[in-house]
Structure 1
């Protein structure tokens, strides 16, 4: 529910109080000017988190936003989120103002995008809004002695963000006119010049997140390359002209 009347939001919090969990901000760190990691702590023992799940915050009287944790420990009550402070909406402004000691409520976790533990190879594609997911998946993939390959479509001024988030990634430029063009070029190069590598990676689980148009373009390229639709998991985090995905 990205946007609701204030009275309805208040009513939902009262009627479904058991779905909301009180947490407190215990740590904040700016990885870069517009990239902020925040740690929330509270009683999360009753929750079950699968890497890829989202949580939801009420960021104003009328607005809600979903975010993907970069780290989640239900037993010890810890949740980390990496916020992209693009200053284009209430979620970004809300996160920028959060400081140690602030109390907020979390809904979730939940959602349809989930880490596939049966897969040996994991292909990650997204942008600035995907960095938390990338970090979370990287950790579980490495814990399970699997492999990941990451392609991050970032703005020119943000090209260092993948490494700031602790990721090994192929960083490509964004294009408003040609979504995912450089990412698709990498895919084409792997198929043409690294056939043995592609034979293994074409069986991977593909996690496509971030900009809706880039997801669509890259998904089409994968399907054209012979990747089964069942291997492709998608979660748009934003789209031009839309708010609160």
Structure 2
């Protein structure tokens, strides 16, 4: 495929430089990207950006933290599928230039909700982190987050109010049944597509209004573009 001229990319993307890279969990790196074009963006907690990870290949990452002065932080999961996204997240280093799309997505915090329920896996935890950090300390929070190991748990604001479960010990739908969250708030359900569907069914059976259950399937086993 012929290279897209830079003026076209400049219309579609903003540019920045990786300034920080650190291992934040056993399989996740925190990357900070800074640049003048990243200042003053409209960002809502839970939104994502699409990053050019090689050539014209785009991969989507939730925003962990946004600095209005011109900094975007991502947490990138390193997983078994050795695709372009996983390789980029594993190998990118400070000083490298990055192009990314502007923040997008409707899977975002509803700050006025009476209660907030978070259900998902490692891929959802990044968006959950941004949402939790934006909530006041008195917000009513509960939820379940599934990880492969305890060392995969992100340091979430208010994470001590969530139930952390290990993959294989129980399922997310069963964890939600055990938690038995009462309807009346907003549920944020994200992660593997089949788990998202199953948890949504559990909540609907428990009396949750479908409009109160926000869902975001971040990945599907074997689907290209999710690696």
TM-score of the aligned structures, taking structure 2 as reference length: 0.88
The match for 1:92 among 81, 86, 92 is 86
1:151-210 per-position Cα deviation (integer Å, ceiling 9, x unaligned): 11111xx223325455323122335xxxx963333333343xxxxxx4xx4112111111
Tell me which residue corresponds to 2:183. Answer: 202
Shift of 1:87: 4.0
Q: Distance in 2 between matches of 1:181 and 1:227?
A: 22
Tell me which residue corresponds to 2:210. Answer: 229
Q: Distance in 1 between matches of 2:151 and 2:176?
A: 22
Residues 100-119 of structure 1 correspond to what in structure 2 (within 5 A)?
A: 100-119=94-113
Tell me which residue corresponds to 2:147. Answer: 154
Tell me which residue corresponds to 2:220. Answer: 239
Unaligned 5+ runs, structure 2: none
Q: Distance in 2 between matches of 1:138 and 1:217?
A: 23
Residues 53-202 of structure 1 correspond to what in structure 2 (within 5 A)?
A: 53-73=47-67, 75-88=68-81, 89-142=83-136, 145-155=138-148, 158-162=149-153, 164-165=155-156, 167-168=159-160, 169-175=162-168, 182-191=171-180, 198=181, 201-202=182-183
**8 Å CA contact 1:57, 1:106 repeated in 2:** yes
Q: Distance in 2 between matches of 1:29 and 1:142?
A: 27
**8 Å CA contact 2:25, 2:151 repeated in 1:** no
**8 Å CA contact 2:15, 2:98 repeated in 1:** yes
**8 Å CA contact 1:35, 1:82 repeated in 2:** yes
Q: Distance in 1 between matches of 2:88 and 2:189?
A: 26
* Paired residues, number: 222
**8 Å CA contact 2:48, 2:103 repeated in 1:** yes
Which one has the bigger helix percentage? Answer: 1
Q: Distance in 1 between matches of 2:102 and 2:205?
A: 35
1:200-242 per-position Cα deviation (integer Å, ceiling 9, x unaligned): x411211111100100100011011110110111111110121
**8 Å CA contact 2:26, 2:152 repeated in 1:** no
Tell me which residue corresponds to 1:194. Answer: none
**8 Å CA contact 1:24, 1:102 repeated in 2:** yes
Shift of 1:46: 4.5
CA RMSD of aligned residues (A): 2.2
1:42-95 per-position Cα deviation (integer Å, ceiling 9, x unaligned): 12235200011110011122421110011012x211111111111412101101
**Which SS does the other structure have where 1:70 is aligned?**
strand
**8 Å CA contact 1:55, 1:109 repeated in 2:** yes
Tell me which residue corresponds to 2:29. Answer: 36
**8 Å CA contact 1:82, 1:131 repeated in 2:** no
The match for 2:192 among 193, 211, 218 is 211
Tell me which residue corresponds to 2:7. Answer: 14
